[in-house]
Amino acid sequence: MTRSTTYLTTSIPYVNSSPHVGFALELVQADAYARHYRLLGRDLRFQCGTDDNSLKNVRAAEAAGQAVADFVGSNGDSFERLGEQLDISNDEFVRTSRDPRHVACVHSIWTACSGSGDLYRKAYEGFYCVGCEQFYEPSELDDGKCPEHGVELELIREENWFFRLSRYGDQILTLIEAGELQVTPTHRRNEITALLRRGLADISVSRSAERARGWGVPVPGSDEVVYVWFDALANYLTGLGYGSDDALYRQYWTEDSERIHFVGKGISKFHAIYWSAILLSAGLPLPTSICVHGYLTVDGRKIGKSAGNGIAPDRLIEAYGTPDALRYYLLRHIRSADDGDFSKDRLDAAWSGELGGQLGNLANRVLALLATTFDGVTPEIPESALVRQAQQLCEKVHQSFGNYELHIGLSEIFAYLAEANRVFTKQAPWADAKALAGEIAAHERTVTTQRLAATLAEQIYGLAIVARCLLPFIPRSAAELHSKLGIPITTHYRQPIDVSGRKTRANSVLFPRRGTV
């Protein structure tokens, strides 16, 4: 089915601390898709944001001795700034404690669910993890502790508003099995369907104002506060003006739009099950796709604020002078849907050995030789095996996006570059350039010139293909490579690649060595 519009979102992180490199993984994955879809010509809207209203934010502010609003505001600023530092191309950034549209959106969804008869009062006692912002059944605990954070849980006794989650399990399961709600990859889909087959219990969707310290979205007509997940999930519609000015909502959250969430595996249940049920209750369309990535780890341990092993992404970006080193590493060396270990040494090897050693070195050698032999102007593109291989590259990269395997797309690009380097070395065009600089017969000069022109032209053409394919992944470096090749940055994949007769430049190194982190 061809969709009229595409709406793409990241999850919204808690702001109980400054961002670590683990969240950068989700940002760059979602941004690569956003840039890819724009190059396909899609009408796309891309949203990020922060989850300001969680209890863990309140607890962290108290521990820091700060007013909650000041604490949340400062940390929220750092998350918004990270997106700018990583060249994330989002159209909207929703901060749930500040956005004037958010309360109206939450209240509109709440009222709709109430109108469906899915909200009711109930006294409740249960074990609660502030880190997860959820209640756990005793059977779900790991030696009496939270299975996600490994900490003791709090016993909570309250009378709350409850949501009839149990009413929607079979319907959600049917939608997933029919492919109307896609959960990617398959093993995450299987986890969700297993939960649904076991049956769902109703969930609390409010907390006392006392326990929330008065922080959060108030329950309509009550002195309680809306449970953080009901509040947070609504952000996807807040940014579209649902409940206030809904022009964007009617454009991007319709039955014929594509609606894609990027989330980490720890919160896939909330998106695939809780959010879907809330939307069904409110009579609203569901997301069409939920792409679930794994955790970034250090020495096999999940990177996390509470784990004390967080790595500041802004320091990494500063060390390399560009976000593209980190973007490339996360997109190529972390499998898109799985956990992956982060290493500063491997990051540096990816920058210097792959981007610099394979792509940068090839571009620098070809451009330098072209400058001295053809005044930097690209000759006519020949028919050759290398040209044909380059022409197949875009489709391979497109397939990697369709399969949620961005690491495969980058591997295909660098497999081509390995072949291009091999061919260039085998052809040894510098020998032809040296011969042309000396005294040779006219016929031999013609043959040598043609051979050198074909060698350099096929390399320039391949580099132009690579530059286009890299635009979603490392946009800043891809734009610089376009400039070196003398070609405009494409706005659509369908635009022809025309390098013949273009004036190139070879005045700077594409991926210079950087300072240590």
Amino acid in position 361:
N
Given pLDDT bands bounded at 50, 70 and 90, which one contains residue 515? low
Query: 279-310: b or e for each residue (b if 16 or more CB lie within 10 Å)?
Result: bbbbeeebbbebbbbbbbbbeeebbbbeeebb
Distance of alpha carbon 341 from alpha carbon 344, whole angstroms: 10
Per-residue confidence (pLDDT) for residue 2, from 0 to 100: 63
Per-residue DSSP letter, 357: I
Mean pLDDT over the full length of the chain: 92
- 407-449 per-position pLDDT tens digit: 999 999 999 999 999 999 999 999 999 999 888 899 999 999 9
- Strand 119-129 relative to strand 134-136: parallel, antiparallel, unpaired? antiparallel
Find out whether the peptide bond into 185 is cis, omega within 30 degrees of 0. yes
Distance of alpha carbon 362 from alpha carbon 381, whole angstroms: 18
Taking residues 465-491, report their average pLDDT.
97
Q: 407-414 — which CB contacts under 8 Å span 24+ positions?
A: 407/331, 407/332, 407/333, 407/334, 407/335, 407/336, 409/469, 409/473, 410/328, 410/331, 410/332, 410/473, 411/332, 413/466, 413/469, 413/470, 414/332, 414/354, 414/358, 414/359
Taking residues 291-318, report their average pLDDT.
82
Nearest Cα to Cα of residue 420 among 479, 374, 460, 474: 460
- 154-181 per-position pLDDT tens digit: 777 788 899 999 999 999 999 999 999 9
Per-residue confidence (pLDDT) for residue 148, from 0 to 100: 66
Enter the tokens of residue 277.
Answer: 């049920």
Phi, psi of 160 (to 5 degrees): -125, 170
Enter the tokens of residue 500.
Answer: 């013949």
- Strand 340-341 relative to strand 296-298: parallel, antiparallel, unpaired? parallel
- 82-99 per-position pLDDT tens digit: 999 999 999 999 999 999
Strand order in the sheet with 340-341: 301-302, 296-298, 340-341
Entry pTM? 0.92
Helix 21-39 and helix 68-85: axis angle, to 10°?
A: 50
Nearest Cα to Cα of residue 239 among 103, 102, 109: 102
Q: With 70 as the cut, is the pLDDT of residue 133 above it?
A: no
Q: Are 397 and 412 in contact (CB under 8 A)?
A: yes
Distance of alpha carbon 218 from alpha carbon 124, whole angstroms: 20
| Residue 501: alpha-carbon gap to chain centroid | 37
- 20-35 per-position pLDDT tens digit: 999 999 999 999 999 9
DSSP output for 433-478: HHHHTS---HHHHHHHHHHHHHHHHHHHHHHHHHHHHHTTTSHHHH
Query: Which domains are assigned to the chain?
Result: 5-293 (3.40.50.620), 354-485 (1.10.730.10)
User: Which burial class, exposed, middle or buried, applies to 186 when counting CB atoms under 10 A from its CB (0-12, 13-18, 19+)?
Assistant: exposed
- 234-268 per-position pLDDT tens digit: 999 999 999 999 899 999 999 999 999 999 999 99
Per-residue H/E/C for 211-280: CCCCCCCECCCCCCEECHHHHHHCHHHHCCCCCCCCHHHHHHCCCCEEEEEEEEHHHHHHHHHHHHHHHH
Q: With 80 as the cut, is the pLDDT of residue 151 above it?
A: no
Nearest Cα to Cα of residue 398 among 23, 41, 107: 41
Distance of alpha carbon 156 from alpha carbon 134, whole angstroms: 11
Taking residues 355-363, report their average pLDDT.
97
SS3 at position 1: coil
Nearest Cα to Cα of residue 91 among 168, 38, 139: 38
Per-residue confidence (pLDDT) for residue 223, from 0 to 100: 87
Per-residue confidence (pLDDT) for residue 209, from 0 to 100: 81
Per-residue confidence (pLDDT) for residue 158, from 0 to 100: 80
SS3 at position 12: coil
Per-residue confidence (pLDDT) for residue 134, from 0 to 100: 67
Q: With 90 as the cut, is the pLDDT of residue 306 above it?
A: no
Distance of alpha carbon 279 from alpha carbon 133, whole angstroms: 20
SS3 at position 75: helix
Distance of alpha carbon 273 from alpha carbon 362, whole angstroms: 49
DSSP output for 268-333: HHIIIIIIHHHHHHHT-PPPSEEEEE--EEETTEE--TTTT----HHHHHHHHTSTHHHHHHHHHH
Distance of alpha carbon 294 from alpha carbon 263, whole angstroms: 9
Given pLDDT bands bounded at 50, 70 and 90, which one contains residue 213? confident
372 forms beta bridges with: none
Per-residue confidence (pLDDT) for residue 499, from 0 to 100: 96
